[in-house]
Amino acid sequence: MDTGAGHLAGKHIVLGLSGGIACYKAAELCRALIKEGATVQVVMTEAAAQFITAVTMQALSGRSVYTSQWDSREASSMAHINLSREADAILIAPCSADFMAKLLHGRADELLSLMCLARPIDKVPLLLAPAMNREMWAHPATQRNMVQLQADGATILGVGHGFQACGETGDGRMLEPAELLEDVIAFFTPKVMAGQHVLVTAGPTYEAIDPVRGITNLSSGKMGFAMARAAREAGAQVTLVAGPVSLPTPRGVNRINVKSAQDMHVAVTALAQDATIFIATAAVADWRPAAPSLQKIKKDGSGDAPKLEFVENADILASVAASDAARSGKLFCVGFAAESHALAENAHAKRLRKKVPLLVGNIGPDTFGQDDNAVILLDEHGSTELPRASKLFLARQLVGEIATRSRAARS
């Protein structure tokens, strides 16, 4: 089974560390980059070496760490030239306030800043992960520096919010390694969905019986969240409407939480007006209790179960597919079908019933809660099977398919 690992295969990253306590996160980031298939060359400033050792970074990267522009290992002592020419990108994490200022003014008094200045700007992008105290981050000088660095072509990956080593709380923390990894992968991903506004639904819905009980299903939301992440990687503006799940929001994705099918229907109806692609991965309840009790239903000792009556929920996918935007070609709709048997037959029938150009089917019991999946794609020309792989790997494949088909539908 393809696990989807190695999304950075073939990429060579120079990981630069400037001085800051966030250097401890650089160790995990280095390991994460390598697990995704990249090779990593670590370059450290003298200040960074006060927070983490070159021995640690060498062990994690599998390469000797460079700390001096006078390193005799490089031909003609030109490490700043040789290391930058080999890189697909230079990632400074952590990037201190001082190092941002140094980059802004083109100073080059040690190897890392010298290498950034000497890199071929049009071939070797510069990615910066700032890390500093909240007051330093908010200072007008830092904000001016950030704006100018972006104007000069650097990519600022942003900062996190939370408790800082100094004891204060606020903006300025370096992003977590997993977040930075998402951003690096997104940076290198071809932007096949640039200019698109993608609306994704994910997870189950919950239909209340009384204040403490309800009807739901086993959908974990993982496939929908993977679709949202993959669409964002591909350059789309992404809005994710999520049922009740406990999953972190993908980087750069706008998330709206809902609970019931009615909640999801209201949210999607409003949001679909501005979307260009709608991907309905949510496992929406077909029915809901007609009259939920306002109080917990108690057992009375008779052994008789309470009598529940159900009403049908609105068909979110079918209603969006029937909208003026979808019929005019402005909105490309993709459905998902979780079946228990006869996948191809049931999914084909659902595609026709919902009147969508593309439907993705899977066997629900085989994928709910799992990190992997196997799917079948159905359109007017037939079906295509995508073998079992990680949900993120499949999502990236599906985003490519959707991008191609949506362009063709509009041409």
Q: What is the pLDDT of residues 154-163, one digit of tens each?
A: 999 999 998 8
Point out the residues of the chain with pLDDT beneath 50. 1
- Given a contact cutoff of 8 angstroms between Cβ atoms, the answer to whether 365 and 217 are in contact is no
Torsion sign (Cα): 17, 38, 177, 174: positive
d(CA 197, CA 219): 25
- Characterise 99 by phi-psi region: left (phi > 0), alpha (psi -120 to 50), beta (else): alpha
Strand partners, 335: 280, 359
**What is the structure's pLDDT at 146?**
96
Which tokens go with 244? 């009740």
Nearest Cα to Cα of residue 137 among 109, 166, 114, 108 = 166
Element housing 130 (H / E): strand 126-130
Nearest Cα to Cα of residue 137 among 162, 186, 171, 161 = 171
Going from the N-terminus, what domains does the chain have, and what CATH number goes with each? 12-188 (3.40.50.1950), 197-290+309-410 (3.40.50.10300)
User: Catalytic site residues?
Assistant: 166
**What is the structure's pLDDT at 1?**
47
- Given a contact cutoff of 8 angstroms between Cβ atoms, the answer to whether 259 and 206 are in contact is yes
d(CA 319, CA 338): 19
Please, what is the angle between helix 23-35 and helix 54-61, to 10°?
A: 10
Report if pTM > 0.85.
Answer: yes
Between β-strands 358-363 and 332-339, what pairing exists: parallel, antiparallel or unpaired?
A: parallel
Element housing 285 (H / E): none
**DSSP 3-state of 179:** helix
CA angle 258, 260, 266 (to 5 degrees): 65
Q: Name residues whose C-beta falls within 8 Å of residue 68's C-beta, 6 or more positions apart in sequence.
A: 79, 110, 111
Residue with tokens 């499949």, as numbered in its chain: 394
**Tens of pLDDT along 206-263?**
999 999 999 998 899 999 999 999 999 999 999 999 999 999 999 999 999 999 999 9
Sheet strands side by side (includes 237-242):
254-257, 237-242, 197-202, 277-280, 332-339, 358-363, 372-379, 382-390
d(CA 143, CA 100): 10
Q: What is the greatest pairwise CA distance in the chain?
A: 91
Q: Name residues whose C-beta falls within 8 Å of residue 215's C-beta, 6 or more positions apart in sequence.
A: 206, 207, 209, 285, 287, 288, 289
d(CA 276, CA 273): 8
